[in-house]
Structures are given as structure tokens and as C-alpha cells.
A and B are shown apart, each in its own frame.
Chain A
């Protein structure tokens, strides 16, 4: 069969993988942003005990590979009686990893708000909460957008590792097809194109977004 025929035949399967990759990425990214925001707030306000827990979590998650985190969730946890489906493991793993990356991004943003802004806020008599609400968050959040954009792309790419616990996302679909029909050129081509379809428009959109929020950062 011609290469084109092979590709056409495989498209319905790739379509399923494509949708699953998008769906898992979406949930993972939303979850990561929530976890990251909570952790960075705990760290910023130095909430006793919780801020140490957040720091330990961030360091463990940031300094270990997703693949081992997934193996641990999927193969080791059932030994101590905790069992999740492969897809749930994937989502939990992605949020566990992404949460720390997002937390670092937000923390960087909050710490990037210039001292002059903080001092001016204090000088006009803002309380600690008001300072956070009206000065630090709006500016810190827009400062952290570039990091967040990079993390979004990073997390989508990381979903390719889900193949190790046999979640039928894009990479897994391609590897399965190669295993069955030995047409590696065709299937890898479709795979690269599929990731390009997701990531190229997204990175263009995110770059535009970065340019827009740059207006939001005061005094630059």
C-alpha cells in the first residue's frame, strides 16, 4: 500500500488519540494552575506548616521525572492498596508535576513586583490584604504569564510520556500502529504533524497573549 493510503487508514485512530491528548492536557493544565496557585499563595503568605509542606512538594515534584512518578502511581501504589485507572494516574501525575512548575512561575511573578510598588502601597496605608489584592496579584499575575505559557506547552508535550502506562493518546497510538504494521515513517510523520497542529497555533496565541499582558505590568 502507498504511504498515503497507510496514513489515510490510520487517521481515525490518530483522531481518537488527538482528542484524548487534548482532553488529558486540558484537565492536567487546569489542575496544575489551581495547585500551583494554592502552593504559591501558601508560600507567599508564609502560612505556618502549610508553606513548608508546599515547599517540600514543589522540590520533590520538580526534581523527579514524570515517568517515575507515573510508575509509582500505577505500579507501586496498588501494592499498598491504592489503585487508579491508567487515565486517572496520568491526570494525577500530570497535575502533581505541573503544580510545582506553575507554583514556581507564580512565585516568580509575585516576587518580581518591584519594591517601589510595595512601598508606595504601604505608604498610602493599604493593609496587608489590600496590598496583596490590589498591588501584588494583578502585577504578579501578569508577570507570571510567560512562565505559565511555557508550562502549558511543556505539560502538553509531557502527555506523550503517558504511553508508558498504555494510555491511548497520540504517542501511544503511533507506537501501537508501528508495532502492528511496521510502517514507522508514515506513523511517525502523522504523529509529528499532530503535535505541530496542537502546539504551533498554541505557541503563537500564547506569544500574543504575553505581548498583551505586558501592558498590564506597571511602569515598564
Chain B
């Protein structure tokens, strides 16, 4: 029996299974992004405070997540959390946690960068009209910083989505893992199926990430045009 490879995508429930896997991928990326954004904003604000010790600790946190590759981070949490801390979580929750902590670290740097690039006179004017620190951040710095940080945040989101491809390594049933199962199950009847299944997954990722990075680029361009006149 020799079928053309592409039909493997539509046989039985294969296509819906792949979409189901994609949903797992998107869900983990989405939850991690939301948690990571909140964490990152808090940490980013803290990093603009004067306290040296606090700044040092947060800096070390950021550098750790910057230096260790994400694959390694996933395995660190996957092996060490349950064994050392007796903290048993299913693989998809471990992945969400790792991604959230990673996004938090990267986001803290984006937020800090945006906060310190709000012009100094804004901060001083705020203090001059008698705002306290909380009001200064709430009404002056954060609203202005947000417009500066949106493109970088969207780019971070595209990176997170791309990085979810690593989920299969800790056996989360994501789109790639399901793709592999379909390829293996149909290897005899559809020897060229591998081409189409990976091709489709390739396309899935592209269709999610391309609009996002296009949007980020457009916002960035507009901002540059505004500042350069």
C-alpha cells in the first residue's frame, strides 16, 4: 500500500490531534507569559529602587536565566524539583513554571530599561508636584514606560512560543510529540508522512509567530519615526 504522504494529515483523527497538541503548546505559552509579565513588572520596578542588595539579588536571578540554556532549565526543574524538594508536578506545569520564571527574568530587564529611559524631568516634575513614590510610578513612570516596552514584550512572546518546541523533551504532549507519534504509527503506510507532518508543524509555528513579530516591528518603526521626527 502506497499513499501519497500528505493524506496522513487527514487520516482518522490525526489533524484534530495535532490541533489539540498545538492548543497544549499555546496554553502553556499563554499562561507562562501572563504570569511572567506580572512577575517581570514587579521585579523590574524593584530593580529601579536604590537598595543595593535587592538589586544584586535580582541581577543574579536575571543572569542565571540568561546564561543557562532553556533546555537545561527545563531538565533542572524536571529532575531536581521532585527529587530534592519533594514537589511533584506534572510535566506541563513544570514547563509553565520554568517559562514563567524565565519570562519574569527577561521582562524585568525590559521593564527596568523602559523605566530608566523615561526622561529625567518627568520624574523630577512628578516629585516637584508632591507625588509620593507609589504615585510617581503609578501615574508618571509606568504609563510612559509601557509604550516603550511593548515591542520588546511582543518579541519576547514570539521567543516563548518558539521555545515551547522544547516541551517534547520533558514529554509534554505538545504538537511536536503528537506529530512524532503520528509519524511513527503511519511509517509503513505513509513513508513520506514525516515530511508533511513536520511541514505542517513548521507552518503552525510560523502562522503564530509571524503576525506577532510583524506587529512588533511596525510599532517599533512608528516609535522611531516619532522620536526622530
- B211 — nearest CB in chain A belongs to which residue? A63
The distance in angstroms between the C-alpha atoms of A66 and B209, with both chains bound, is 13
- Are A184 and B83 interface neighbours, CB within 8 A? yes
B213 interface residue per 8 A CB criterion? yes
* B interface majority secondary structure: helix
Q: Which of A30-50 contact B (CB under 8 A)?
A: none
Q: Which of B151-166 contact A (CB under 8 A)?
A: 158, 162-166
The distance in angstroms between the C-alpha atoms of A79 and B8, with both chains bound, is 15
The distance in angstroms between the C-alpha atoms of A173 and B191, with both chains bound, is 31
A160 interface residue per 8 A CB criterion? yes
Min C-beta distance of B175 to chain A, whole Å: 10
Contact of A161 among B67, B166, B228 (CB under 8 A): B166
- Are A75 and B165 interface neighbours, CB within 8 A? no
- Are B158 and A196 interface neighbours, CB within 8 A? no
Instruction: Please give the number of chain B residues whose Cβ is less than 8 angstroms from any Cβ of chain A in the complex.
Output: 38
The distance in angstroms between the C-alpha atoms of A143 and B3, with both chains bound, is 53
Task: Say which one of B74-82, B85-93, B114-122 lies at the interface with A.
Answer: B74-82
Contact of A64 among B67, B68, B162, B195 (CB under 8 A): B162
* Chain A residues near B205 (CB-CB < 8 A): 63-65, 68
- Are A65 and B198 interface neighbours, CB within 8 A? no
Interface residues on A, range: 35 or more
- B5 — nearest CB in chain A belongs to which residue? A79
Q: Which of A56-115 contact B (CB under 8 A)?
A: 59-60, 62-69, 71-72, 75-76, 79-80, 115
- Are B194 and A161 interface neighbours, CB within 8 A? no
On whether A175 and B206 interact (CB within 8 A), knowing A65-B165, A68-B165, A185-B84, the answer reads no
B169 interface residue per 8 A CB criterion? yes
Q: Which of B35-69 contact A (CB under 8 A)?
A: 66-69
- Are A195 and B67 interface neighbours, CB within 8 A? yes
Min C-beta distance of B188 to chain A, whole Å: 14
Q: What is the count of residue pairs linking A and B with beta-carbon distances less than 8 angstroms?
A: 104
A126 interface residue per 8 A CB criterion? no
The distance in angstroms between the C-alpha atoms of A71 and B228, with both chains bound, is 43
Q: 1/0 per position for B135-177, CB-CB distance to A under 8 A?
A: 0000000000000000000000010001111101100000010
* Chain A residues near B183 (CB-CB < 8 A): 75
B210 interface residue per 8 A CB criterion? yes
On whether A200 and B213 interact (CB within 8 A), knowing A72-B198, A76-B198, the answer reads no
The distance in angstroms between the C-alpha atoms of A114 and B5, with both chains bound, is 52
- Are B166 and A67 interface neighbours, CB within 8 A? yes
A-B contacts, 7 of them at CB < 8 A, read A62-B213, A68-B198, A160-B69, A160-B70, A163-B169, A188-B75, A196-B68
Interface residues of A (CB under 8 A from B): 59-60, 62-69, 71-72, 75-76, 79-80, 115, 153, 157-158, 160-161, 163-164, 171, 174-175, 178, 184-185, 188, 191-192, 195-196, 199-200, 203
Top 9 closest pairs, chain A to chain B, by CB: A65-B165, A184-B79, A63-B209, A160-B69, A157-B69, A67-B165, A65-B162, A160-B71, A76-B195
